[in-house]
Structure 1
């Protein structure tokens, strides 16, 4: 890791920049995939599945038999873990369901909002070396709580045409049965435009590689909503002199093993702690199955010493991390100072892995600095807020003059007349 001791605040801006990924041809490549799928539907999906996944499929939909067979392959231990995690995720997200009260803004004028689930949503779940079945729980559960009527799941298959068995079991556990063996940018295109086989959806959720994220970015400009702009995963750990170096190293490595484009940042008030964490990283890294990948990630990552904890938190706010771990004494005392972060983990025992899997909070979070303006996924991500208002005759009389004056000032006389005609008829009837 790159180590910087007591950088000036003028240097912070440069340190908070993420590693640059070469994407010169990305836009063109993904645009081509999107256009092909939009124009040719299933034929394009078939071609890209053959090209990118190395398998020729005539039917993309996962059958009930495949789900049944997958369920039998999943161990009891994993099934029990999914049940515990799902229960905690449901409990936390259920608390977000609120019925808003009607507000009488003026006598006879009532206004309120109602949450309505987005009718059709698409869930993209990566497969490959890290099949993220936990993300399916994080997306499927709040979608169901929100009242979404149709959930469409796309996830890539292997060269034998099989989808990861735990992903299929998690889908079955949630009652999701509209599942397609489609990965990459072509999956995003299929859900955005619809094909002969894949239903079109109104909003697309889920992580993915740079091709998937670019596809989401592009379809958003064409009227299909997405959960959030996102990039590679990241964590920032703040620690004081009392923090356990092994805990810190484990948290950094748990993020580093995601991929070489991820970034981990360690910020501390203790120069000695940097030395201890460096040693702990070396010791833990050699035992990891994904050590080569994690090691490459660490090459793009930072260790920074700053004078005070307040400086550490200020730096974090500038960085706006996806995950922020406060491995410090009395971490709760610093909550009000945190203004930019996707999800925050307080204290020595609050490892990021807890949020990734089973504490109950959602792990689909803004990255790449977007935590400055975006929230993580919640039940609210799956609903629309529709406003209602009801005016009685007296209510219209009470605010009618205000509306007429404002409409006339904007030279929108038909707007004024919509009130004036009603008021005149009410007066004539008296």
Structure 2
């Protein structure tokens, strides 16, 4: 299978790796301008604009937002229609995702120092969160669970879901997942108009505090433009997987793991790192043999050819140097003693330990979130979690003695900054000798 081949000991390795993994942050100005117009129009005209754009882009014939609103009874009906195995799978995944995220929940805390001053943090959930779920030809019930359940665990007051339904086609599994996740309101609206509606609010769609969830280039650009009015999770790039293997795993397993991300789209990135050159060749043979059995073979071949790579390293020590250079979204450590090696990973969205932990399990049902930092942003960001739906307020409560002592320090610093009112405000609390 055609792909890039690199050796970590070549003189130009870093240069070639950088070129391979780079993902352009340049904005398409034509897209940005179109999105800007939609966002402004929705902010100004509300429901009427949302209906017009939805009819235009999704081939709908809605006359009002009522035609684009899915009631709770419809969600429950979709859940009831599901085949038993699909319902069990959704419920099992939801249970595991909920259990994992409950362990992330942060509580308020405080303490009193020696003079009785109270200091701490008050942790509260967002009032309202919006989740975007892609729709149309592809259905992503797993995205419903991964975005909504952390918000529910955090204690968000209301969860609003938007998901496009081109030609009026709504996927039952997506609606069923919304029922299981306890989503409060659902609208079959997508694109920039959906993001704008969530950010600014309309007569029908309530404005939210934060918007999370994946989408196409128009959704990503709309999230970029409304950030500041509302919070967002991230601007995500194409999906990525980096598999590090010591050469002892079945090559067919590794081939399919690499395909699992390549099948997302032509810009996805799948990279194998190994110190065993012969093993790399066996994986290449397995990929060529297995690709024709997959429905999305063309997408896979394009992704592997454009952005995939086989990287040979001298040893496992060097493999981990490569990991931290790439900072991948998904990292599989398909090797002996994976748990012992894992602390050497400084940058990765999710780390899959051992030969029996394919990334696909994390996408659906292992428990941790599948909304992960891409494009090397794992250097400074984390998976979506309960903490994304909680905010923290500092608590400061001075005793008379504490105010007097702190006031002396604050006065000196404030006057050094020529902020006299600050200084005098603090000085008024200083006890007279």
The two structures have a TM-score, normalised by structure 2, of: 0.93
1:391 corresponding residue in structure 2? 398
User: Quick one: distance in 2 between partners of 1:413 and 1:178?
Assistant: 51
Pairwise CA RMSD of aligned residues? Answer: 1.9
Task: Note the 1:370-381 alignment, pairs <5 A.
Answer: 370-381=377-388
What is the aligned residue count? 424
1:133 corresponding residue in structure 2? 141
Q: CA deviation at 1:65?
A: 4.5
1:233 to 217, 239, 260: 239
User: Quick one: distance in 1 between partners of 2:368 and 2:51?
Assistant: 37
2:197 corresponding residue in structure 1? 190
User: Quick one: distance in 1 between partners of 2:34 and 2:177?
Assistant: 32
1:294 corresponding residue in structure 2? 300
1:347 matched to 2:349: no
SS of corresponding position for 1:102? strand
User: Which range moves more in the overlay, 295-304 or 12-21?
Assistant: 12-21
Unaligned runs of 5+ in 1: none
1:122 matched to 2:124: no
SS of corresponding position for 1:192? helix
Q: CA deviation at 1:21?
A: 8.8
> Are the equivalent residues in 1 in contact too, given 2:94–2:180 (CA < 8 A)?
no
User: Which range moves more in the overlay, 179-188 or 389-398?
Assistant: 389-398
2:6 corresponding residue in structure 1? 4
2:59 to 54, 59, 65: 54
User: Quick one: distance in 2 between partners of 1:42 and 1:100?
Assistant: 39
1:268 to 255, 263, 274: 274
> Are the equivalent residues in 1 in contact too, given 2:97–2:367 (CA < 8 A)?
yes
> Are the equivalent residues in 2 in contact too, given 1:230–1:370 (CA < 8 A)?
no
Q: Evaluate the alpha carbon distance shift between residue 37 and residue 18 of structure 1 in structure 2; reply closer, same or farther with a 3 A threshold.
A: same
1:48-82 Cα distance to aligned partner (Å, 9 max, x none): 22222112123211134532442233111111111
1:215-253 Cα distance to aligned partner (Å, 9 max, x none): 111111x42210112111111111112222111111111
Q: CA deviation at 1:274?
A: 1.5
1:104 corresponding residue in structure 2? 112
Q: CA deviation at 1:128?
A: 2.5
Q: CA deviation at 1:24?
A: 4.8
User: Quick one: distance in 1 between partners of 2:266 and 2:256?
Assistant: 17
1:167 corresponding residue in structure 2? 174
User: Quick one: distance in 1 between partners of 2:299 and 2:14?
Assistant: 32
1:394-417 Cα distance to aligned partner (Å, 9 max, x none): 222332321221112111121121
User: Quick one: distance in 2 between partners of 1:90 and 1:71?
Assistant: 19
User: Quick one: distance in 2 between partners of 1:219 and 1:49?
Assistant: 19
1:142 matched to 2:150: yes
SS of corresponding position for 1:423? coil
> Are the equivalent residues in 2 in contact too, given 1:407–1:415 (CA < 8 A)?
yes
User: Quick one: distance in 2 between partners of 1:410 and 1:202?
Assistant: 35
Q: CA deviation at 1:20?
A: 8.4
1:322 matched to 2:329: yes
Q: CA deviation at 1:351?
A: 0.8
Q: Evaluate the alpha carbon distance shift between residue 279 and residue 37 of structure 1 in structure 2; reply closer, same or farther with a 3 A threshold.
A: same
1:72 corresponding residue in structure 2? 80
The two structures have a TM-score, normalised by structure 1, of: 0.94
Q: CA deviation at 1:109?
A: 1.9
Q: CA deviation at 1:92?
A: 0.9
2:99 to 81, 87, 91: 91
User: Quick one: distance in 2 between partners of 1:278 and 1:24?
Assistant: 39
1:95-129 Cα distance to aligned partner (Å, 9 max, x none): 11232432334532221112111111100011123
Q: Evaluate the alpha carbon distance shift between residue 180 and residue 360 of structure 1 in structure 2; reply closer, same or farther with a 3 A threshold.
A: same
1:258 corresponding residue in structure 2? 264
